[in-house]
Structure formats: structure tokens, C-alpha cells
Amino acid sequence: MCGIIGYVGAREAGPILLEGLRRLEYRGYDSAGLSIISSEGRLCTVKEAGKLAQLERVLEEGMPPGTCGIAHTRWATHGAPNRENAHPHWSRGRDIALVHNGIFENASVLRSMLIDLGYAFETETDSEAVVHLIDEAFKDNSSLEDAVVAALDQVVGAYGIAVVSSRDPGKIVVARKGSPLLIGIGKNGENLVGSDASAVI
Ligand code: GLU
């Protein structure tokens, strides 16, 4: 179980997320990544296997712009510690991104059900099933929070999750069960979320 950090406010999210990931580094992890929504509503995800330095190297070539984003350091429980399995995970339309700490115990049942519904899986993780569940739940729900609630009704397990979507931009939806996640209220209407106080402070 590793780390989550999220930022929504008036400042550029990228440098804040990266600093949060640096502060989570002491926990140990096998990959890291982030997703940021730009002001034009484009969701951009960058993730890399290995140390944070690997991700930083890629981000030096261009940090995705935007003031709302989520980031993750992974400690693999389902699937190899490689780039594909690194978080965030995205929906088939690339318009929802999710980071997850913990284990979804009924992931294989959900995976089979979603494959029957026509979803293709790009990773071996338990987490990816939930981003597709949220995608599916958007058919009956117009807000990201309602779609996340509907998706989480179907999962069993321990989790801390943070989700962003270009279909409902400018917000981070978070949920937790048996896994730590705290909300930090910043300055001028900005908010942070973190799995660890050190990342938020
Ligand atoms: N179960 C998820 C995975 O294997 C999350 C692991 C974590 O908490 O970092 O990708």
C-alpha cells in the first residue's frame, strides 16, 4: 500500500504533486505517475516504472498544464511493477483517471463482468476494474461523485481512491475504506488530498 496526493485550486498542480510524491518517497514504491486536467478540459497522464527520478526525467520535457490533478506511488499487489500497471489508470475514453491504494478483493469477478460488457483491460491490476466501473456508472449519473458512489457499491476490499474526470472537471472525488486518506484545506479555495500527512503539509 503506497501513496496518494491530489491538488485542486488556482495554482499549477504539477509541481505541487511532484513535491508531494517526493515526500512520500520514504515509504518505498515501484512506480509513480500523475494525471492533470488542463484548462481546456484535456486529461493528461504520465507514469513511469522505477524511482521518482524516472518520472521527473520525463516531466522535465513537459509538465502537463492544469490546476487539478492526482498522483500516486505504487507498491504492487496485483500485476508486475511496470509502466502499464503504474497508476493513474484511465478509462477507455481517456477521460477518467483513478489512483488507488489497497486491494479490491472482488477484482477478478468485476473484470469478467466488465469484459462481458465490452471493456478491454490494459493492465493486470485490481484497480483498473474500478475506473471502468466508474465509466459505466456515468451512463446513469451526470456527476463524477455520483458515478464513483455507484461504482464503489460494487466493490469489496480496502481502498483509498482519488478520481478526476474531464467529463466533470475542476474536482477530485475521493473515498476511503480501511485505508488512510486525508483532506487538507489550503489557501484561496484550494484543497489537497493525501494518504499521508507528510505529503499534504
Ligand atoms: N492494488 C493496487 C495495485 O496493485 C494498488 C497498490 C498500492 O496500494 O500501491 O496496483
pTM of the predicted model as reported, rounded to 2 decimal places: 0.97
Q: What is the largest CA-CA distance in the chain?
A: 46
Work out which ligand 1 atom sits closest to the CA atom of 85.
10
**Gyration radius (Cα) of the chain, Å:** 15
Task: Give yes or no for a contact between 75 and 1, defined as CB atoms under 8 angstroms apart.
Answer: yes
Predicted pLDDT at 25: 85
Mutation test residue for ligand 1: of 24, 47, 83, 125, the one with most atoms within 8 Å of CB: 125
How far apart are alpha carbons 119 and 122 in whole angstroms? 10
Q: CA torsion sign, 72 to 159 to 192 to 35? A: positive
Predicted pLDDT at 26: 81
**Run of H or E residues at 150:** helix 144-152
pLDDT per 10-residue tile (average), the chain, 201 residues: 92 97 88 96 97 96 97 96 97 97 97 98 98 98 98 97 97 96 94 92 85
Mutation test residue for ligand 1: of 82, 111, 122, 126, the one with most atoms within 8 Å of CB: 126
Q: Which amino acid type is present at position 20?
A: G
Predicted pLDDT at 1: 60
Residue with cell 469489496: 156
